[in-house]
Amino acid sequence: MEFKIIGNTQSINQRNDTLILDTAEAQVQVSIYSPTIIRVNVTRQPDKPVSSFAVIREALPDLSYEENLHELIINTSALQLRIQKDPLRMAFYTADGKLLSQDDERFAISWQDTKVMNHRKVHPDEKFIGLGEKTGNLNRRGSAYVNWNTDAVNYQTESDPLYQTFPFFIGIHSGLTYGLFLDNTHKTYFDFAASTDDQFMWLGADAGNLDYYFFGAQTVAGIIEDYTWLTGRMEMPPLWSLGYQQCRWSYMSADEVLEVAQGFRDRQIPADVIYCDIDYMQDYKIFTWNKEAFARPKEFIDKLKDINFELVTIVDPGIKIEKGYQQYDEGVEQGYFATYPNGENYTGEVWPGRCHFPDFFREDVREWWGASFCALTDPGVAGFWNDMNEPSAWNQNVPWIVKFGDKFMPEVRNAYGMQMARATYHGTRKLLGNQRPFVLTRAAYSGTQRYSAVWTGDNTASDAQLLLGQRLVNSLGLTGMANVGVDIGGFSGNPTPELMVRWNSLGTYTPMFRNHAIKGSDMREPWQYGEGNEALIKQAIEQRYRLLPYLYATFYQATQTGIPVSRTLAIDYAHNENIYSVAYQNQFLFGDALLVAPVISTVQTADVYLPTGNWYRLSTEQMYNGGQSYTVDAPLHDLPVFVKAGAIIPMQSVVQSTAEKGDGILQLHIWNSDQATSCVYYEDDGNTYDYEQGTYYKRLITFDPIAREIKLSAVEGSFESRYEVVKVILHAFDVEIANKEADNVKAEFVVKY
Ligand code: MIG
């Protein structure tokens, strides 16, 4: 095996926006994307064009640098990159000279044959967070990870890799923060000082470039904002997808689906979405309906819509080899499938039996795939669940010789699922006209937030996985994926009634709230656990519906800034040691206002850590001083949820589905504080793209305890709110307020107290 470390700088050139340093081993290309983002692309094939699935921005046109005897120095208003020339070593500083991150002086950038590595110095107090869907602790120091999208059925609390690849982490030390995104779709590696703690951390790839973006914003939120500026942000999800979602592998017939949906209405348990898993298809052929069990899809979906349910159906990438099956015939004829090097179509076995796999890396294939969804959209399907797209095939990895266009499987495997989601999103968006499609994918790569929500695959019905699931959700939020769900209840196994209740109570505070279960498991609908438990699950779902105005506005934030819906405390309290402790690492902020402490089902109390500031228990209104930990009651009917002092939480009365009008009252819950606060309230029709043309309703709400007033700014946008009245509800104030109800006028209005 040949080993090389990058050596002396032999030449320095500039091409437009890029500084180019050549060494005997490689070429280093440096460009600036924004004052807080610098790209370093280290390549041994400088003439090979580079493209990215993740990045949607271009470098700034200008770059200037200074040179002295030993160094090249690039300054932006926020960052300084100092490049030592001999041997070539890089170090990033803040503009005022504080060291953020640098190469390990000894090993820096190196190669073993095609493998490329970057060893970097670690600071004594440094913590690492990120990488998206990864098991283990919030602080990833001491752990090592591989990115290789995998059908990780029955994964455990330490399993790696899982389904998704986000080669992006954030380092936190000395009161400083930085981020690093390695844009490489080969198998990649991240070792956070796992071998010997104080030696180094390293990242690497099986092949390809060491092409990374360095982020220097000095808050975790700022780094997420920059990362999602670079790789894109989610768009507004359909409002119905934020309601409760009921799924199962599988409801076996249209009648059964209708019966379950009606079961929610009969019991007055709110719900919006029901799913068809693979058994709705004929012989697992994608874009078909089972001729007997789902004989008249349009009639069936119309009936669902009559009772305010939307239907989501699953699609897998594998196209069954069967002459006369439309997608097979078209795919073969047009050459749309992945191939072996001799041009034959690759064959893998999945649910339908022997299959070919669309080459989603090609635009014509994506268009064809996207257009095929008419078989689902025509009868009225509104959501599209992309499964098995790691890609997964029985008993084997997809062989290395499989080709997608001119690329072999190992080069692009980690982006396959993302490209399937991309094709699904664009195709269904086109077919649905002005309606927002809901897309859900199991495999993903950085940037997938532009197309799809994700869920965390085949988890297990256990308390440990309830907690793990929350960490996965929180970690995915750090890497741009704001719309995330886990299989509530656990996919494999059967939850105890207590676990089912507890997990649903956490589902209230999960961006996507979906129950799902494996074939053969006990039925999981909320009424399967006895009357008492049904009431508790119903209560959790009702709370979700009360919070929808708040949740929708929180999703709006994610579309504008990339800040996730479920936020590890490391976003707002990065430099507070306590939040990384194993006891508190699962806690998170759900939006700006609510702190949630996940609790397992076998205990009735919880140790929670409340960061600086004042907090109120949502259920009791009891006040807690932050900056310390508490042992609090956590019975099954009352998950510990705390409201931040000064919070402004828009809520509504319970409705049975998001299609219901409700009582027309927007409740503005304000929690007392001695500091002024504000929030942006956002609303639109919840279903179309009219908001892009200004048909939305947005206003700034401010709470000022000194002036003793709550002010709603004039409304921005042309949407008529679905609420006729705004009602202000004060919590922990010792006064009554004068005019607490106002017609939802669009002009500014002020409530004095
Ligand atoms: O081989 O479609 O993760 O949610 O229910 C299993 C059946 C295929 C895996 C998904 C799961 C889904 C199941 N699928």
- Nearest one of 100, 168, 164 to 130, comparing CA atoms: 168
Name the band, by pLDDT with cuts 50, 70 and 90, for residue 472.
very high
Give the count of beta carbons closer than 10 Å to the beta carbon of residue 625: 12
Ligand 1 atom with the smallest distance to the CA of 316 is 2
Q: How large is the C-alpha radius of gyration of the chain?
A: 26
| Confidence (pLDDT) at 734 | 84
Chain-centre distance for alpha carbon 375: 28
| Confidence (pLDDT) at 197 | 82
**Residue 323 to residues 64, 320, 368, 735: CA-CA distances in angstroms?**
61, 9, 18, 75
Three-state SS at 214? strand
Nearest CA to ligand 1 atom 12: 249
In testing the pocket of ligand 1, which one of 151, 162, 277 has its CB within 8 Å of the most ligand atoms? 277
Read off the pLDDT of each residue in 310-317 and give the average, rounded to a whole number: 98
| Confidence (pLDDT) at 238 | 98
Read off the pLDDT of each residue in 71-91 and give the average, rounded to a whole number: 98
**Residue 65 to residues 23, 94, 267, 565: CA-CA distances in angstroms?**
18, 16, 68, 39
d(CA 172, CA 177): 5
Read off the pLDDT of each residue in 454-472 and give the average, rounded to a whole number: 98
The secondary structure of the chain in percent helix, strand, coil, rounded to multiples of 5, reads: 20, 30, 45
Ligand 1 atom with the smallest distance to the CA of 458 is 3
Name the band, by pLDDT with cuts 50, 70 and 90, for residue 632.
very high
Direct distance between the N- and C-terminal alpha carbons of the chain, in angstroms, rounded to an integer: 75
Could you tell me if residue 94 is left (phi over 0), alpha (psi between -120 and 50 degrees) or otherwise beta? beta
434 CA to middle of ligand 1, Å?
30
In testing the pocket of ligand 1, which one of 149, 245, 281, 458 has its CB within 8 Å of the most ligand atoms? 458
Give the count of beta carbons closer than 10 Å to the beta carbon of residue 752: 11
Tokens of 80: 């300084």
Read off the pLDDT of each residue in 427-452 and give the average, rounded to a whole number: 98
Give the count of beta carbons closer than 10 Å to the beta carbon of residue 10: 12
| Confidence (pLDDT) at 198 | 86
In testing the pocket of ligand 1, which one of 162, 249, 442, 488 has its CB within 8 Å of the most ligand atoms? 249
CB 316 near ligand 1, within 6 Å: no
CB 562 near ligand 1, within 6 Å: no
Under 8 Å between Cβ of 507 and 515: yes
d(CA 30, CA 9): 14
Nearest CA to ligand 1 atom 6: 388
Name the band, by pLDDT with cuts 50, 70 and 90, for residue 738.
low
Give the residue extent of every domain in the chain: 3-231, 663-752
387 CA to middle of ligand 1, Å?
7
| Confidence (pLDDT) at 454 | 99
Chain-centre distance for alpha carbon 166: 10
CB 352 near ligand 1, within 6 Å: no
CB 457 near ligand 1, within 6 Å: yes
Read off the pLDDT of each residue in 147-172 and give the average, rounded to a whole number: 98
Catalytic positions: 387, 390, 458
d(CA 282, CA 575): 55
Reply yes or no on whether the pLDDT at 366 is more than 70: yes
Q: What is the mean pLDDT of the chain?
A: 97
d(CA 575, CA 116): 32
Residue 124: DSSP 8-state: T
How many residues can be counted in the chain?
A: 753
CB 684 near ligand 1, within 6 Å: no
Angle subtended by helix axes 409-431 and 363-372, to nearest 10? 40
b/e per residue 523-536 (b: at least 16 CB within 10 A): ebbbbebeeebbeb
d(CA 586, CA 135): 12
Handedness of CA 315, 318, 320, 325 (dihedral sign): positive
151 CA to middle of ligand 1, Å?
10
- Nearest one of 153, 19, 213 to 490, comparing CA atoms: 153
Give the count of beta carbons closer than 10 Å to the beta carbon of residue 175: 10
- Nearest one of 389, 521, 398, 535 to 455, comparing CA atoms: 389
For 50, residues 6+ apart whose C-beta sits below 8 A from its C-beta are 41, 43, 209, 211
Taking only the tens place, the pLDDT of each residue in 496-529 is 999 999 999 999 999 999 999 999 999 999 999 9
**Residue 659 to residues 305, 428, 656: CA-CA distances in angstroms?**
10, 21, 8
Tokens of 48: 């090979």
Reply yes or no on whether the pLDDT at 752 is more than 70: yes
Three-state SS at 653? coil
Reply yes or no on whether the pLDDT at 740 is more than 80: no
Read off the pLDDT of each residue in 600-604 and give the average, rounded to a whole number: 98
| Confidence (pLDDT) at 209 | 98
CB 390 near ligand 1, within 6 Å: no
User: Are 3-231 and 663-752 equal in CATH topology?
Assistant: yes
Give the 3-state secondary structure of 464-528: HHHHHHHHHHHHHHHCCCCCEECEECCCECCCCHHHHHHHHHHHCCCCCCEECCCCCCCCCCHHH
CB 277 near ligand 1, within 6 Å: yes
d(CA 659, CA 419): 32
Under 8 Å between Cβ of 506 and 589: no
313 CA to middle of ligand 1, Å?
12
Name the band, by pLDDT with cuts 50, 70 and 90, for residue 743.
confident
CB 249 near ligand 1, within 6 Å: yes
d(CA 36, CA 93): 11
Please give the backbone phi and psi of residue 108, each rounded to the nearest 5 degrees, phi first. Answer: 35, -120
- Nearest one of 377, 460, 373, 447 to 415, comparing CA atoms: 447
Decide if domain 3-231 falls under CATH 2.60.40.1760: yes
Tokens of 141: 């120091």
309 CA to middle of ligand 1, Å?
22
Taking only the tens place, the pLDDT of each residue in 180-232 is 999 999 999 999 999 888 899 999 999 999 999 999 999 999 999 999 999 99
Nearest CA to ligand 1 atom 13: 249
Could you tell me which CATH number the domain at 663-752 has? 2.60.40.1180
CB 237 near ligand 1, within 6 Å: no
| Confidence (pLDDT) at 114 | 97
CB 182 near ligand 1, within 6 Å: no
Ligand 1 atom with the smallest distance to the CA of 518 is 5
Taking only the tens place, the pLDDT of each residue in 1-60 is 999 999 999 999 999 899 999 999 999 999 999 999 999 999 999 999 999 999 999 999
| Confidence (pLDDT) at 736 | 73
- Nearest one of 74, 48, 111, 22 to 214, comparing CA atoms: 74
For 363, residues 6+ apart whose C-beta sits below 8 A from its C-beta are none
Kind of pairing, strands 127-130 and 407-408? Answer: unpaired
For 241, residues 6+ apart whose C-beta sits below 8 A from its C-beta are 272, 273, 310, 383, 438, 453, 512
d(CA 219, CA 663): 41
CB 278 near ligand 1, within 6 Å: yes
DSSP string, 599-613: --TT-SEEEEEE-SS
Reply yes or no on whether the pLDDT at 390 is more than 60: yes
CA atoms within 13 A on the CB side of 195: 8
DSSP string, 547-570: THHHHHHHHHHHHHH---SEEEHH
Three-state SS at 108? coil
Kind of pairing, strands 407-408 and 403-404? Answer: antiparallel
For 493, residues 6+ apart whose C-beta sits below 8 A from its C-beta are 460, 461, 462, 518, 521
